[in-house]
Amino acid sequence: MHYYQRDLALIHDRGYGQYADRCAPGILELLTPVRDGIVLELGCGSGALTRHLLAAGHRVVATDASPDLLALAREALGESADLRRLTLPDDPLPDADAIVSVGHVISYLPDAAAVEAALAAMAGALRPGGVLAIDILDLDYAQARAGEPPLGRAEADWAIITEFSAPAPDRFVRDSTTFVPDGAGAWRRAHEHHENVLVDTSLIPGLLARHGVRAVAGTAFGDAELPAGLRAVTGTKD
């Protein structure tokens, strides 16, 4: 599936960068040991976290699967970041001294096997002493949102309505309808169907340990507590 096409990418950029802002201080603290290394960011979106990484002086390779989000990141960041299109779990990862990701990027993969493959690839791309800091959806994410009503938000130049469902214990679905001006005095309507795979995050440290990464699955990056059902997986490569 092609997630975050033009209109939803624009809305995500303009209205939903606060989560990355909250997580950034805790992630930057974790990156202190690799200040002179390469930070690989997976699912950089339009650059909400990337801005913080660059401002802290890190050398960043920022990647995303969405061409529309990458275009917004290029517009915002210019030549200050190495921006690349990369799709997990099949595209090879460049070697890095840290791998970071927010926005439960690998939860967009099709199934648990793909998530495991992506985690193994991350472990393989980390250099010795490298740092891992990503978030991912646990099985209890859907349970915490059972019966949640649709959400709507409207701003001067965009609007969005999102409906939620959980068709299986390991699936969480968002159906988003977006509205943006079409440039001719009317509003353009678009729709995206997003499926997230949910996994038992308590198993992730054991998986990563088999690939040489000592990790824990917690509920925060530093002082930034994550929403219910979202886990912070942090660790170091031996």
Residues 148 and 169 in one domain: yes
Residues 116 and 229 in one domain: yes
Does position 168 have pLDDT exceeding 90, yes or no? yes
> What per-residue confidence (pLDDT) applies to 80?
84
Residue 112 in domain: yes
**Parallel, antiparallel, or unpaired for β 59-64 and 82-85?**
parallel
Does position 199 have pLDDT exceeding 70, yes or no? yes
Does position 1 have pLDDT exceeding 70, yes or no? no
Residue 114 in domain: yes
AA identity, residue 228:
A
> What per-residue confidence (pLDDT) applies to 79?
85
In total, how many domains does the chain have?
Answer: 2
Measured CA to CA, the distance from residue 157 to residue 59 in angstroms comes to 34
Residues 108 and 218 in one domain: yes
Residues 100 and 47 in one domain: yes
Residues 75 and 187 in one domain: no
Residues 123 and 155 in one domain: no
Residue 109, CA atoms < 13 Å, CB-side half-sphere: 25
118-148 confidence digits (pLDDT tens): 999 999 999 999 999 999 999 999 999 999 9
Measured CA to CA, the distance from residue 126 to residue 40 in angstroms comes to 9
The pairs formed by 170-177 with CB atoms below 8 angstroms and a separation of 24 or more are 170/112, 170/139, 170/197, 170/198, 170/199, 171/142, 171/195, 171/196, 171/197, 171/198, 172/137, 172/141, 172/142, 172/145, 172/196, 172/198, 176/8
202-231 confidence digits (pLDDT tens): 999 999 999 999 999 999 999 999 999 999
> pLDDT tier at 185 (50, 70, 90 boundaries)?
very high
Helix or strand run (H / E) with residue 175 = strand 171-181
Residues 116 and 177 in one domain: no
Residues 108 and 208 in one domain: yes
The CATH number covering residue 73 comes to: 3.40.50.150
> What per-residue confidence (pLDDT) applies to 227?
97
Residues 128 and 176 in one domain: no
Measured CA to CA, the distance from residue 150 to residue 180 in angstroms comes to 19
% of the chain at pLDDT higher than 70:
100
**Parallel, antiparallel, or unpaired for β 230-237 and 171-181?**
unpaired
Measured CA to CA, the distance from residue 105 to residue 210 in angstroms comes to 22
Residue 43 in domain: yes
DSSP string, 42-88: ES-TTTHHHHHHHHTT-EEEEEES-HHHHHHHHHHHGGGSEEEE--T
For 41, the domain range is 6-138+199-237
Residues 17 and 61 in one domain: yes
Measured CA to CA, the distance from residue 158 to residue 180 in angstroms comes to 5
> What per-residue confidence (pLDDT) applies to 14?
96
> What per-residue confidence (pLDDT) applies to 189?
98
Residues 14 and 97 in one domain: yes
Measured CA to CA, the distance from residue 233 to residue 107 in angstroms comes to 13
Residues 50 and 165 in one domain: no
22-67 confidence digits (pLDDT tens): 999 999 999 999 989 999 999 999 999 999 999 999 999 999 999 9
Supply 192's token pair: 């995206």
The CATH number covering residue 184 comes to: 2.20.25.110
Residue 1 in domain: no
Distant-in-sequence, close-in-space partners of 238: CB < 8 Å, separation ≥ 6: 128, 212, 213, 214
72-100 confidence digits (pLDDT tens): 999 999 888 899 999 999 999 999 999 99
